[in-house]
A = this chain, B = another copy of it.
Amino acid sequence: MTGAAPRRRGRPARSDADTGPGARERILDAARNEFAERGYDKTSVRGIAKAAGVDPALVHHYFGTKDEVFGAAIEVTFEPALVLPALLSGGEEGIGERLARFFIGVWENPASRAPLLAILRSAVTNETAAAMLRKFVLRRLLERIAVELDVPDPTLRAELAASHMIGIAILRYVLKAEPLASVDTEEIVRIVAPTLQRYLTEAGPV
């Protein structure tokens, strides 16, 4: 704390590597890796800082507590999902198919699947992580989706659609239940799309 470099917003003085503009992203990357590999309970701010090559104080400075690091890490993971409202507002026709293909695409991509699995594993086994997921992602995301829908109980409908995709992810990528684990993604889209279409537009049999 005796460095001569100018400090901003009370941040501890660090080397350039520490405080460079990439430090925040490096910490988030490290956090996602740590949560993914160790799970929520065994991940520490100290471990994240070490993996990111920064001082733990910088992690606290940027994000606060471990809970808050987790929140920020998973929020970034769900950034692809920010396209969902645009996907939904693109007209009712084919909405179920677009949504099914988007979700399967995110899960098929190993780069996005790994952090999603980490979040799922953390949230299913740790109530704090579950609360973080609820607070930082589910509420905001589902509300954004719900405002685009013209159905009764739009948030419930969005949750039921999400529940189906989460369940498919668990059986296909975690439990690896056959034939679902090996079937072509387009076959899943073909069967599931009408379900999502009905949930999100109320078209189809009730």
Contacts and interface: CB of A to CB of B under 8 A. Distances in A.
Nearest to A168: B163
Interface centre among A130, A165, A166 (most CB of B within 10 A): A166
Interface residues of A, number: 47
B170 A156 contact: no
Interface in A27-82: 39
Give the interface SS of chain A, mostly helix, strand, loop or mixed. Answer: helix
A1 interface: no
A113 interface: no
Contacts of A195: 164, 195, 198
Contact of A168 (B121, B153, B160): B160
A194 B183 contact: no
